[in-house]
Amino acid sequence: MTTRRSFITTMAGASASLLLSADLLAAPGKNKLNKIGYISGIISKEIAADWKKALKQTAEFGFTEIETGKYLGSSEAAFLTYCKEIGIKPVAGGVSITEDEKGVKKILDSLAGMDMNYAVSYWPWLTGGPFSLEDCKRSAELLNKLGLACKQRGMKLCWHNHNKEFIPMEKGLPFDYLMENTDKDLVKCEMDIYWVAKGGADPLTMLKKYPGRYRILHVKDMAPGPAQDFECPGSGIIDFPAIFREAAKQNIKHYFVERDNVPDGIACLKASGAYLKNLEF
């Protein structure tokens, strides 16, 4: 028999369940980054002065990953031990695109020795640009070779964009050419959000155009105004929540703060860390 008291109790329980379900349904719209990183060049002066102190500070700001081209300290093993101690993992490091196969092998072996997941070609060109179709063909060929060499060492290759990849050539854009003419399994992209915008393209549109090809985002903001200067994340005009929502759909896991010509790298990372840790998207 249903009494007034049991009816009220039942309805209260049902309401609570509905509220809980609503919270769960709302949760995907309130995602947060699980981990954040930075490229070591942003604090190159501080690292040169006292690399252990500099890295420990960034760990205290909430950073858990670092992108760096070489080990710091006396050896790869000592560097990795200290990084583990403070909770920062080296994830990616740079490699030049070059005809010098012996030099490339040495760099890749060093990155593999630091347990890197990715090698990044920050300038995947043999010229200074603007780029021609012939430039693109040569770069695509070299990136495919480099991607295979990375795979042989248990790493993935990413190429990093700037704005010049969005200057039209004889046919189409260099950015599209590299994405469409490199092996999708061997060659991924580290998208620099700022430089895509600086080139006149939309980072969100470019993410959606090539799903599955991105592994790392360089998180760099753009100051308002015609100069479109560099800015620390959260202090400029780039719509990071929209970009991160799409990145999450594509299962992109690495977000590295970068800012060129930064006057105070530690201050930039402190502010950027606070912004990114609390950002909901």
Please give the model's pTM, rounded to 2 decimal places: 0.89
**By C-alpha distance, which of 256, 51, 42 is closest to 158?**
256
Q: Where are the alpha helices (DSSP H) in the chain?
A: 4-26, 44-60, 76-86, 101-113, 133-151, 174-180, 193-198, 203-209, 240-249, 265-278
Look up residue 174 and give its amino acid.
P
Q: Name all contacts of 84-90 with Cβ < 8 Å and 24+ positions apart.
A: 86/55, 86/56, 86/59, 87/59, 88/55, 88/58, 88/59, 88/63, 88/64, 89/64, 89/65, 90/65, 90/66, 90/114, 90/115, 90/116
Region class of 255: left (phi > 0), else alpha (psi between -120 and 50), else beta: beta
Tell me what pLDDT residue 28 has.
56
Per-residue pLDDT tens over the stretch 75-123: 999 999 999 999 999 999 999 998 788 999 999 999 999 999 999 999 9
pLDDT of 233 above 70: yes
Per-residue pLDDT tens over the stretch 15-59: 333 333 333 333 556 899 999 999 999 999 999 999 999 999 999
**Domain map of the chain by residue range?**
34-278
CATH of 34-278, one of 3.20.20.150, 3.30.360.10, 2.40.128.20, 3.50.50.60: 3.20.20.150
